[in-house]
Amino acid sequence: MNEWFDAEQHVERAQELYESGRWEDALRELKAALDVHPDNGEWLFNMGLTLEAMGRLDEAIDAFTKAIELQGEETETLNILGSALSRDNRHDEALARFEKAQQIDPRDPASYANRIATYAQLGRHDEAEVMFYLVMQFDEKNARAYFNLGQSLLERGRYDRSLHCFNRVLQLDEQDEHVHGRLADVYWALGQYEQAYRCFLQQLRCQPGDIDTLLNMGNMLIEMGRGIEAAEKFRRVMELEPTHPDAHHYLGELAMRAGHLEAATTALERAIGFDATIVGPRTKLAMIALRHSQIHLARRRLKQELEHLTDDVDHRLREELGQTLLDARLFAEAQQVYGELAKQNPQIARYPHQLAVALLSEGQMQPGIAAARRAVKLDRTYLLAMRNLTLAYIETNQWRRAGAVVRQALRLDPTHAAFKRLARRIALHRIMSRMF
């Protein structure tokens, strides 16, 4: 009896410590309780929540799984386990738990709302939308469903609909801990920097130690040309987590922009030291090597970067890598990067244009011309793409087509010196061909 009472006391203290954010102490109390009664499913569930809060996902998943084995399958526990599995990129296992929760209670909104997030992570956005509309059939005010769909829409670049979803979250649950950060991301994507800045500040008022918000805000401040404020955000991250690789990466980027190449090199190498798989620092180290005419070092850095490139890497970093590959004359590798960017972003003209540059630079004329034509088709005012397309047509003796592109360009800008020279060259060729 005394043992049970003591264990209950440990659990009560753990609850208080958990709510105050003292997770290590809460975990210690729960372990003490479970030493007495290791088969208490409710306490194991609480241990899972605590481990999850500490970022120890593998251990949290084990605790939730054991709790289910002891207590049986309940919708709440299945949903929480599924969410943890999804965050651990074990998506198929997560979906199986959510589907089981639906079988137990077909009107359980969490099982549908959680699948919106998991399907979005998998890039299966149509299925995410199906889950959203299923939730709406019996719970039109489900804030989590709106939040997760908003994230899916944000990832697809459907900013107006995403903005509507996140604003709806605010209406339904103004205490949501993450919605201001997501609103900031949407406004940032729309180029509405001041509105995004205000939302980032609001998010930091809700969660002062939100590292993702600090990093995003810092990157936006870089875009706004406010480097000093950006550096302050990254240093704040380092105060919270001194070995955070992204903070060192972005401080290295700022040092590069300021021309402090030695400091930049130190910061970028630290980022790699803290996370050998991080993408971005090696590209910037290659850029520094190119400035010092160290072409072999630059190419080695770039090839190392390619080894760590994955589909979820931010397009800004992928584009930076592609441009640096072109600068280092690694054209085949640049084709790989820009080809993937063009496939993933079919409405952005600069990606097929850069792909065309890589192809044409390697002498692949017909594929290069096809890529350049795609760029011009996407943006009828893209003069640089038109110039490269004209030169490629001339190189392949397609003078009539070259002339058509030049006329189109001069209609856009009659004073453009490069196209006026090309027009004279084409006219001279026409005269010479008649003579001979």
Cα separation, 316 vs 21, in Å, equals 35
Token reading at 333: 């590798």
Cα separation, 91 vs 86, in Å, equals 5
Higher-confidence residue of 435 and 358: namely 358
- The answer, yes or no, to whether residue 435 has pLDDT greater than 70, is no
Say how far residue 230 (Cα) sits from the centre of its chain.
19
- The answer, yes or no, to whether residue 63 has pLDDT greater than 60, is yes
The label of the residue with tokens 């264990």 reads 7
Instruction: Please state the rounded mean pLDDT for residues 432-436.
Output: 72
Average pLDDT in the chain: 91
Cα separation, 248 vs 254, in Å, equals 10
**Which of 4-8, 61-65, 220-224 has the least mean pLDDT?**
4-8
- The answer, yes or no, to whether residue 382 has pLDDT greater than 80, is yes
Q: pLDDT (tens digit, 9 = 90+) per residue, 324-347?
A: 999 999 999 999 999 999 998 888
The candidate with the shortest Cα–Cα distance to 144, out of 101, 184, 115, is: 115
- The answer, yes or no, to whether residue 34 has pLDDT greater than 80, is no
pLDDT band at 26 (very low <50, low <70, confident <90, very high): confident
User: Could you give the 3-state DSSP secondary structure of residue 425?
Assistant: helix
- Regarding the domain delimited by 330-436, which CATH topology (the fold level of the hierarchy) does it fall under? 1.25.40
pLDDT band at 295 (very low <50, low <70, confident <90, very high): very high
Neighbour tally for 331: CB within 10 Å: 18
Cα separation, 12 vs 223, in Å, equals 48
- The answer, yes or no, to whether residue 2 has pLDDT greater than 80, is no
pLDDT at residue 1 in the model: 45
Instruction: Please state the rounded mean pLDDT for residues 413-434.
Output: 90
C-alpha distances out from residue 120 to 40, 132, 147, 164, Å? 35, 11, 12, 18
pLDDT at residue 102 in the model: 93
Instruction: Please state the rounded mean pLDDT for residues 95-115.
Output: 93
Which amino acid is present at 120?
A: A
Token reading at 340: 């993937």
Percent of the chain with pLDDT over 70: 98
The label of the residue with tokens 């609909």 reads 161
Cα separation, 261 vs 255, in Å, equals 7
- Contact assessment for residue 131 and residue 162, using Cβ atoms and an 8 Å cutoff: no
* Burial label, 254 (beta-carbon count in 10 A; 0-12, 13-18, 19+): buried
pLDDT at residue 148 in the model: 95
Instruction: Please state the rounded mean pLDDT for residues 149-170.
Output: 94
- The answer, yes or no, to whether residue 269 has pLDDT greater than 90, is yes
- Contact assessment for residue 326 and residue 334, using Cβ atoms and an 8 Å cutoff: yes
**Which of 14-28, 94-108, 309-323, 333-347 has the least mean pLDDT?**
14-28
The candidate with the shortest Cα–Cα distance to 182, out of 195, 201, 198, 163, is: 163
pLDDT at residue 204 in the model: 95
The candidate with the shortest Cα–Cα distance to 345, out of 307, 325, 316, is: 316
Q: pLDDT (tens digit, 9 = 90+) per residue, 134-156?
A: 999 989 999 999 999 999 999 88
- The answer, yes or no, to whether residue 36 has pLDDT greater than 80, is no
- The answer, yes or no, to whether residue 376 has pLDDT greater than 70, is yes
- The answer, yes or no, to whether residue 77 has pLDDT greater than 70, is yes
pLDDT band at 436 (very low <50, low <70, confident <90, very high): low
Instruction: Please state the rounded mean pLDDT for residues 155-161.
Output: 90
Instruction: Please state the rounded mean pLDDT for residues 170-191.
Output: 93
Instruction: Please state the rounded mean pLDDT for residues 283-298.
Output: 97
pLDDT at residue 334 in the model: 97
Instruction: Please state the rounded mean pLDDT for residues 359-379.
Output: 96
Domain ranges across the chain: 279-307+317-329, 330-436
pLDDT at residue 293 in the model: 95
Which amino acid is present at 69?
A: E
